Amino acid sequence: MKKIILLTCLIVFASTILTGCQTLNSENSDKYILNSILPKELDMPLTKESLSKDETREIIEKYLNLLNQNLDVNLENYDIGDLNGDGIDEIIMYVHEENSKENVGKLLVYSYDGEGYYLLDEEEIKYDKENIKLQIGKISEDKEGIIFCNLANEETTAVYVYLIEDGKLVSAINPRKVNLFSVNNSVEIDDIDGDGVLNFNIYTIDPEGNKDENSKIVLWYKWDGKDSAEVVKKENLNNEINADNQQYTTLDNSVLTVDDLKIKAKELTKNEFSNMLYEYISMLSSSLNDGNKILSSYIYIDGVNKLNDFLKEDTFKNLDSLENASNLTSNEKFNQFIVEEIKKGYMISSVDNKIVLKINYDYFLNSFNDMLTNEMLSYIRIKNQFDNKPISDSKILIVDKGEIAVRLNEIENFRLVFPYSKALNEVLDIYNVYVDALLFLDDDEESVEKSEYKIDTNYKDELIEIKQKYPQTYFSELIDRMLTLVEGIGGGAITPTIKDYIREVY
């Protein structure tokens, strides 16, 4: 008799649970019925601290399964935390719908309104073979966010960062700006520097590794506070050297000319020499203004006729022509100055009918090509194009926009392949100049003189063609945004408001 009574009680209890689940998963779910199922010792709303005890966590997991039957609580598929700063913790869970025809999962956020938890928002996640990590925590000093990692296939893991904004789940990372796909599933989420902000890592192929070897590096990221992520630590797995403890050979007073660099190149590794050359070129850049002031003072005294004739022969780009340079003018000091600047790695060029010193990037590329890392080679090519092959003259385009798009695409590739580069910010400054020219400059003065510039069909069609040619790039996204604004609030014109908005987002 006792067994019959016990069996009856279990059936009634199971029916209650199933009814609750069915009710919740219907469109008219009654969230408050579920609260009555919770044990009295479990306080509502739930808190992150309540997950620290096994007994409490087990009760919470039963409740979470009532909220959503698809939740697998045996994996890292849920967390609790305050995502909107109101002092009340939300519930985040990741569910994989077994009956889904597509490889799509869902990120769900449940909010508490004083009586129970309800589904606040959900987001479909494209890559969903299996979720392997999920964590709520600080992603900046003043922002709480969600970081989770999904297996996209057997060998690739995708990392995501989400925020809650105005009650909606919003991706904090633009995938066109940073590659967050790991080549294995050994990804981690952790505060690696003790500042209270979560970091996350990916394993990626080393762009400096041998093609025949499967060399990998580990990149630790943090959210940049906007729509991307920045590298805070790089680990080289093969030689067990990371960015924190690697001993770089830095520039010293013994390296004053290109010939000095050639000697150093024989003594150093590619990484060491590339680091030295980067510092050397930075030194040349910082000294450029002073050098041009001295050059101007000599030209003012001695005139420029013979110098102009010499420039026409284009021999200043060849550092082997020092003998010619030493007899350039009747002023021996002027000649010696030119020789010394050429030895340092400068060339003399005519810009806007003005004779100036410029860095001879071509010579560095030709002299040290086999001694440099891929990162450094890409950096020098980008700098050479920007400094020595201008795209505009007094803000009038002197190249077609297709050429600007080629350069933008090269910089975006640099950002994706070398996100750890110490030259990245410098390269992105160049990117911003190119984007501004692509979107807002034309080959006539009208585009510069007017604060509002009515774009014609050719202007629009050229940008659309570029967008279609480079559909995966961030600048194609900017083109789309700008043209949408022009057709909308701009009334067919590029206005100061549109310019300010677009410049703000890139």
Q: What's the mean pLDDT when you consider all of the chain?
A: 85
pTM of the model as a whole: 0.87
Are residues 78 and 134 in contact, defined by beta-carbon separation less than 8 angstroms? yes
Are residues 302 and 334 in contact, defined by beta-carbon separation less than 8 angstroms? yes
Which contacts of 490-497 are long-range, i.e. CB under 8 A and separated by 24 or more positions? 490/452, 492/454, 492/455, 493/452, 493/453, 493/454, 493/455, 494/439, 494/440, 494/452, 494/453, 494/455, 495/451, 495/452, 496/451, 496/452
Lowest mean pLDDT among 16-25, 126-135, 223-232, 259-268: 16-25
Q: Give pLDDT tens digits for 36-49.
A: 666 666 788 999 99
Provide the pLDDT for residue 312.
55
The whole-angstrom separation of Cα 29 and Cα 268 is 69
Provide the pLDDT for residue 367.
93
Burial 283-311 (b: 16+ CB within 10 A, else e): ebeeebeebbeebeebbeebebeebeebb
Provide the pLDDT for residue 171.
98
Provide the pLDDT for residue 393.
84
Lowest mean pLDDT among 92-96, 216-220, 447-451: 447-451
If you average pLDDT over residues 118-140, what whole number do you get?
92
Residue 100: band (very low, low, confident or very high) from pLDDT cuts 50, 70, 90: low
The whole-angstrom separation of Cα 431 and Cα 482 is 17
Q: Give pLDDT tens digits for 388-419.
A: 999 998 778 999 999 999 999 999 999 999 99
Q: Which amino acid is at 506?
A: Y
Count CB-CB contacts under 10 A for residue 369.
Answer: 10
If you average pLDDT over residues 461-485, what whole number do you get?
97
Token look-up 């007899």 returns 327
Which contacts of 315-319 are long-range, i.e. CB under 8 A and separated by 24 or more positions? 316/342, 316/347, 316/348, 316/349, 317/347, 317/360, 317/362, 317/363, 319/258, 319/343, 319/360, 319/363
Percent of the chain past pLDDT 70, that is, above it, reads 80
Q: Where are the domains of the chain?
A: 69-242, 247-389, 415-506
